[in-house]
Amino acid sequence: MVRPPGCPVGSATPSLADPMIHASTDFRARWAVLRAQDGLQWTQVDERHGFWSAARYADVERVLRDASTFTSERGTVLSILGFDDPAGGRQLAATDPPRHTAMRTRLQKALAVRAVEGRHEVLTGLIREIIEPLADGGVFDFAEAMLALPVAVAGEAMGLPRGDWPRLGFLLTAAIAADDPEFRPVDSTQGSLDRAHRELFAYFQDIYMERRHRPGDDLVSVLITTEVDGRAMSPGEVLSNCYSLLLGAVTTTPHTPSYLMAEHIGDGVLDSWAADLTATPTAVEEALRLASPASHFMRYATTDTEIGGTPIKAGDAVVSWLGAANRDAAVFPEPDRFDPRRRPNKHLAFGIGPHYCVGHSLARVTLRILFDELLSRFTGFRPAGPPQRLHSNLISGYKHLPITARLRDGRR
């Protein structure tokens, strides 16, 4: 499919860029349409800007792996389509190799599996504290609790004061779901986003000043002492990456368990998993695949190229829809079925290529502990009200999910 010249602005059918579509699960039908088409589909957003949509696994993998042809430095999310990202070349997510590799190396080591496993006891304590209210038998907002989980986990790893975690959680959700009225304290989406960014960066500036004089073994101190291009990272680079780290945590960790609880409660999936917790490692990967909390990554073509038979011009934006690729039947047999022991399962929930999520080990260990604790202690999960999804084209997730459960016999 070639790019249509003079494509009209607007459409009777809202595009995947519209956050309101993601407030329900209707967007999955759009994914199926995109996967079935020949080539990529062009979406015109306004008079000047548009983007190509990649939905098949092979096309998404190609875009995300090839950082030389598809750059991250001009912007990685639809909310800034057409505007150069001010974090380009300064923030991990918006920097291409080889500079990206130099920025990433020490942080990746600090977040490696062995380092994360060493925090197992701390993570278990945080998780038990968050799910403990479920034990009283009353209505428990599971999604709200899960939104608090990654801020606690990342906040502990970054050495952020516990009293700051609730406010940080709100601001971070506002940053990824600025169109959601519940997280939009001002009238305009852009105003809400700007306010969240200003407050978060001001917060990390204070943290930076403190750690610069009293470094520790936390992730903020790792960033402060990281050298790139033969020099220490600048204060702006440290602040930008502190923000990116915390934002990455709230992207994946909370919405995977909320997806499972919202869409598989009462269908036997949780019961069969609880009956055999040895399935937890592979079941977590399957939950990540089907949830695909990060909806998209955007890249810009640096040269004329081609994807799936579609000519792409230099400067064109290409949006990779991760959830669509993760339900591609060419890669995942019976793609919409939850298979707790699915192997192989090369899902793209954490991306792929040089920008593969640096915190993937921390997220995986957190989710494994969470599900083991949840399913070994509780049973009889039941919905207690309608679930509510976030209004966001960036994050596929839930903001409210009232449930009830009961303690297993003999458990306190």
185 in a structural domain = yes
Q: State the Cα–Cα distance between residues 239 and 267, nearest whole angstrom.
A: 44
Q: How far apart are CA 34 and CA 235, in angstroms?
A: 42
The range of the structural domain enclosing residue 315 comes to 19-407
Residue 1 forms part of a structural domain:
no
Q: Is 321 helix (H, G, I), strand (E, B) or coil?
A: strand
Residue 14 resides in a domain: no
What CATH number should be reported for the domain holding residue 224? 1.10.630.10
Which H or E element spans position 174? helix 165-176
Residue spans of the chain under pLDDT 70: 1-14, 185-188, 410-412
Contacts for 312 with CB less than 8 Å, ≥ 6 apart? 40, 52, 301, 304, 305, 306, 318
Asked, for residue 93, whether it belongs to a domain, the answer is yes
Residue 13 belongs to a domain: no
144 within some domain: yes
Question: What is the per-residue pLDDT across 239-265, written as a single tens digit (0 to 9) for each?
Answer: 999 999 988 888 889 999 999 999 999
CB 260 within 8 A of CB 270: yes
Q: What domain count does the chain have?
A: 1
pLDDT of residue 10: 38
Residue 185 has what pLDDT? 63
Within a domain: residue 10?
no
Residue 134 belongs to some domain of the structure: yes
